[in-house]
Structure formats: C-alpha cells, structure tokens
Amino acid sequence: MSNQAADVARAQSEAAGWFARLSQLSITTDALRDFRDWKRDETNAAAYAKVEATWAATGALSKRPAIQAETAEILRRRPAHTPAQAGFMRYALPSAITASVIVVGATVAWLNLQPQPTFTTRVGEQRLVVLEDGSRVRLNTDSALRVRFRKAERRVVLARGEAFFEAAHDASRPFIVEADGASVHAIGTKFDVRRDGDAVRVTLLEGKVRVAEKHTAAAATLIPNQQLTVSGGHVSPPRPADALEASAWTSGRLTFRSVALEDAIAEVNRYAVHKVALDGPAALGRQPITGAFDTGDTKSFADAVGLLLDLSAKADSNGVLRLAPRAPQRAPDV
C-alpha cells in the first residue's frame, strides 16, 4: 500500500471515530479543539466530509438542517475556552449534537464495507462473471457467489454450488475463496471449488493453492492435478485427480470414467429440471459407466445408459425419467 493510500485509510478511520465522538451525549471543549486541529489537515477534512455526506445520504440529518448548520458553525468559530466555559460546553453542546449512536455505528460500518455484489445461477444455468480485478469466475448450476474485495485482499464466498476460478495475479492482494468451513488461498491460478452438503471439494488445474479449515489448524497445499476435500473440521490429504475432467462442466460437458451409475445420475440431476431416477436393486446403482454427455440433456443420458445396461427409460407423470431393468421377454408359444 502506498503512503498516500495509507494516509487516506488512516484518515477515514479517524474521521469515523471523530464523527462517533461528536455524536455522543457529552463532549468536552478540549475534544472539540483537538477535532478542529485534526481537521486542518486536508486529507482529514476530506475524509470527514465523506463521513458527513454518507450520514446525510441516510436521511438522518436531512430532517435536522438547523442542527447540522449550528454544529458546523460551533466547530468552525468556537475559540479556546476557560475551564468554566468548558464545563458549560460539556452540557450545552448536546443540544446542538443529538445524533443517534446506533445510527452512527451503522454509518461507520457502511463506510468500512465495500459493495458486496452477489451472483447466482438457476438449475441448469451457467454464468461467467469477470470481477473488477480481471479475475474470471464461471458459476455452475444452482450456485451463489458473494464478492468481498478489500484493499489488502480479494475475498469471495461460495454460498452454494460450484465455481471455477481464474484468479488474476496480484501478489499484494491474495485471492481467497470461502466455502462453508474451507478457505482457499491462491495467487494467479485456476481451480475449482464445489460444495456438496457439508463437504467442500477443491481441484487445482494451474498454479498453487493452500486450503485450510477455518476453525482448526488443518491445512494442505495442492499442486496441479490434485484434489482434496474439507469436511467436519478436517482436510483430506491431496490425492491425484484429472483436473480437466473435473472442470469439463465449464464447456457444457459431463465426463464419466468408470463412475458408479448412482453417482453419475446424481451429477446429471444437478443440471436438470426433470430428473433421472433409478428403480432397481442396489447392485445396479454401483454399476460403472463411462461416457461424455451434454449438461442438461437427461434424455440422451438415460437413453445411453439404457443401451449400455439394458435398462428401460420411461417418463412418469411428473416428468421424471425412470431407469429400470427391462422385463424379461416371454418366449413365444409353440
């Protein structure tokens, strides 16, 4: 951070503090004198003007213009006071400064927070978002992401679903993704984060990321083509993964290689309004399948699985495609 930026940040923090002090029910003349001296600095004056403008924008002072003018006049013209006058000011000034401490707190909090845009997708929808720093985020089906950028860091929160991140390089501002109890720290890298219930799966394509569980000391570092899971306060050891396969959804495709049928159906259903259901013994759900399918195309998936495992695929009255073993054909009567 440059010296100028640091001075502005300091002035903004001090301005918020001064605004809160001047809004208390009791204020001394010495404090007012200190404030007047502090405000002579141009950076400080600009920061305080921002606080006042924010306060006015909330409408809190718009109903009390006389109070606002009187307070400004006191702060601008009031000379140094004797101890007796200071005692008088301690009790007289509250009549001119009657701001609510609760609203001041809300105003200060507002100043310290940047806008937090939220991006969402519906079931079956994907969305590409380019963040203000140039980072690219592709949201998968039924996902939600909140952006919380600050001067010292770039933080986003994956509230649900899955997202693929291409973090722009900025060594001075780490890129951090939060998802449930997981915290992923990256600088200039490509990785996928997915929430499944109370588990978070992280897969790395390029670069290097450190994954930590926020409430414990558990942490691990991923290198390309590795994956891990954060769940129940634990971070699993990194394991090999086909990163391109894990991120195939970004191109609208789902790729399965010897994946259990029940797991493949669950993945297909993430993108589907009309779901696929399996009717059959448990052993059928464990049958491995291999193939590539377009996201959202449940009919092609059901037809392919039907041919592969000799299953019928019929839609019920609710539009659900039900996969079931074909009924054995009766031998013709002789």
Residues 6+ apart with CB under 8 A from 78: 29, 32, 36
The DSSP line for 49-107 is HHHHHHHHHTTTTTT-HHHHHHHHHHHHH-----HHHHHHHHHHGGGT----HHHHHHH
Verify that 130 and 238 share a domain, yes or no: yes
- Residue 253, strand partner residues: 294
pLDDT at 67: 45
Segment among 78-82, 204-208, 215-219, 293-297 with least mean pLDDT: 78-82
Residues 6+ apart with CB under 8 A from 57: none
- Residue 290, strand partner residues: none
Name the band, by pLDDT with cuts 50, 70 and 90, for residue 89: very low
Verify that 227 and 125 share a domain, yes or no: yes
Q: CA 290 from chain center: how many Å? A: 34
Buried b (16+ CB within 10 A) or exposed e, 113-139: eeeeeebebeeeebbebebeeebebbb
Residue 192 lies in a domain: yes
pLDDT at 12: 83
The pLDDT tens digits of the residues spanning 106-122 come to 444 444 444 568 999 99
Please name which of 202, 171, 198 lies closest in space to residue 211, comparing C-alpha atoms. 202
Which domain range does residue 313 map to?
Answer: 252-325
Residue 330 lies in a domain: no
Query: What is the average pLDDT value for the chain, to the nearest integer?
Result: 80
- Residue 158, strand partner residues: 145
Residue type, 94: P
Name the band, by pLDDT with cuts 50, 70 and 90, for residue 102: very low
Q: Do 183 and 214 touch, CB atoms closer than 8 A?
A: yes
Look at the chain and report how many structural domains it folds into: 3
The count of other CB atoms within 10 Å of the CB of residue 181 is 20
Name the band, by pLDDT with cuts 50, 70 and 90, for residue 330: low
Torsion angles phi and psi, residue 56, rounded to 5: -65, -35
Residue 220 lies in a domain: yes
Angle at 269 between CA 195 and CA 256, to 5 degrees: 80
Alpha-carbon span 116 to 109, nearest angstrom: 13
pLDDT at 275: 93
pLDDT at 78: 42
The pLDDT tens digits of the residues spanning 138-176 come to 999 999 999 999 888 999 999 999 999 999 988 889 999
- Residue 154, strand partner residues: 149, 175
pLDDT at 38: 83
Domain stop point among 196, 216, 242: 242
pLDDT over 70 at 281, yes or no? yes
pLDDT over 60 at 292, yes or no? yes
The pTM is what? 0.61
Residue 333 lies in a domain: no
- Half-sphere exposure (Cβ direction) of 64: Cα atoms closer than 13 Å: 16
Q: Is the four-CA dihedral 90, 94, 97, 99 of positive or negative sign?
A: positive
165 to each of 61, 150, 211, how far by Cα in Å?
A: 43, 18, 14
Verify that 258 and 237 share a domain, yes or no: no
pLDDT at 73: 46
pLDDT at 14: 85
Verify that 189 and 123 share a domain, yes or no: yes
Domain stop point among 219, 242, 265: 242
Alpha-carbon span 12 to 270, nearest angstrom: 46
Segment among 26-40, 92-106, 117-131, 302-316 with least mean pLDDT: 92-106
The pLDDT tens digits of the residues spanning 37-83 come to 888 888 888 888 887 676 655 444 434 444 444 444 444 444 444 44
The count of other CB atoms within 10 Å of the CB of residue 314 is 12
**CATH number for 153:** 2.60.120.1440
Domain stop point among 112, 130, 149: 112
Verify that 126 and 217 share a domain, yes or no: yes
Residue 332 lies in a domain: no
The count of other CB atoms within 10 Å of the CB of residue 306 is 17
pLDDT at 21: 66
Residue type, 166: E
